[in-house]
Amino acid sequence: MTGPFIVAGRFCGPAGSANGGYFAGCVAARAGRTVTVRLLRPPPVDTPFETVELADGTIAVMSAEERIGEARPATLALAPRSPPSYFEAVEASRRYAGFAHHRFPGCFVCGTARPRGDGMRIFAGPIAERDLVAAPWVPDVSLEGSDGKVRPEFMSAALDCPGFYAASPDDRMMLLGEITVHVSRRVHVGERCTVMGWALESSGRKRAAGTAIVAEDGEICGLARAIWIELKEPIP
C-alpha cells in the first residue's frame, strides 16, 4: 500500500464525488483481501488518497488530514438469490426507475447521461415475482485489465448501484454507507452477465442489500453486501 491513488472524474457517483463501489474496489485492491469499506465522507474525485494501516488492522483512507473512509478485513457470508436469465434481466432493465427520474444521471455505474463506452450503464429494473432488481451487463474494453478480464475495481463498481434500487424501491434519497465485496471470478470483456440486487434487513435510516454478478451459465462471479443510509437532509 505504497503511494497515493486517485479516482478520476470519470468514475463519479454524485457530481464531484467518487462512485462508492469503485472507491471501495480501489481500497480493496490495495488491501489485497476481502474488506468491508466504510465511507465516512463523500470521496472527492481527482484528489490523492493515502492508505494507512493502523495497529488494529484498520486501513484508514486519508485525503490530506481528513479521514474519508476506512476498511477492515472481512469474510462475506451471503446467500445469493436464484438469478434470472440474461434475457429476463434485459426485460427488467426496461423498467429501470432511473429512466423516469435520476438524481445522479452522471453516475459512472447507473447514470442515464453516460454514453456507451464511458459509463457502465447498468440499469437495474424490478422483477416483482422474484423480489429483486436485475440488469444486463456486457463489459466494454475500457474496463479491461492486462489479461482481457475486467479489473477488480470495476467488478466492485458494478455491485454498487443495483443495491440502491433493491434497498430503496420507493426512491428514498440514500447514499452508500459501507460495502463488502468478494470477487470469485473476474469476468471477461464482452462477456454477457447479469447484475442483480435484493433487499435484506432494515433498521431506522439504514437498509441492507445484496448484489451479485452472474455469468450466463449461472456462475456467481461477484457478490456484495452493502448498507445504504437515508439522509436526514436532501442533497441540494
The pLDDT-based confidence of 169 (bands split at 50, 70, 90) is: confident
How much is the pLDDT for 208? Answer: 97
How much is the pLDDT for 88? Answer: 97
pTM over 0.85: yes
How much is the pLDDT for 136? Answer: 98
7-57 residue pLDDT tens:
999 999 999 999 999 999 999 999 989 999 999 999 999 999 999 999 998
How much is the pLDDT for 181? Answer: 97
The structural domains of the chain, ordered by start, are: 5-73 (3.10.129.10), 86-230 (3.10.129.10)
How much is the pLDDT for 231? Answer: 83
Read off the pLDDT of each residue in 162-179 and give the average, rounded to a whole number.
Answer: 91
DSSP string, the chain: --S-EE--GGGBSSTTBB-HHHHHHHHHHHHTS-EEEEESSPPBTT-EEEEEE-TTS-EEEEETTEEEEEEEE-----PPPPPPPHHHHHHHHTT-GGGT--S-TT-TTT-TTSPBTTB-----EEEGGGTEEEEEE---GGGB-SSSBB-HHHHHHHTTHHHHHHH-TT---EEEEEEEEEESSPPBTT--EEEEEEEEEEETTEEEEEEEEEETTS-EEEEEEEEEEE-SS---
Q: Is the model's pLDDT at 194 over the cut of 80?
A: yes
Angle (CA) 102 106 111, round 5°: 55
How much is the pLDDT for 9? Answer: 97
How much is the pLDDT for 198? Answer: 98
66-86 residue pLDDT tens:
999 999 999 999 999 999 999
**Sequence-separated (6 or more) residues with CB below 8 Å from residue 125:** 92, 93, 94, 95, 96, 97, 133, 134, 135, 165
Q: Is the model's pLDDT at 93 over the cut of 90?
A: yes
Read off the pLDDT of each residue in 144-159 and give the average, rounded to a whole number.
Answer: 96
Q: Is the model's pLDDT at 235 over the cut of 60?
A: no
d(CA 8, CA 42): 14
**Sequence-separated (6 or more) residues with CB below 8 Å from residue 58:** 70, 71, 72
How much is the pLDDT for 94? Answer: 98
How much is the pLDDT for 98? Answer: 95
d(CA 129, CA 100): 22
The pLDDT-based confidence of 127 (bands split at 50, 70, 90) is: very high
Q: Is the model's pLDDT at 236 over the cut of 70?
A: no
Q: Is the model's pLDDT at 170 over the cut of 90?
A: no
% the chain with pLDDT above 70: 97
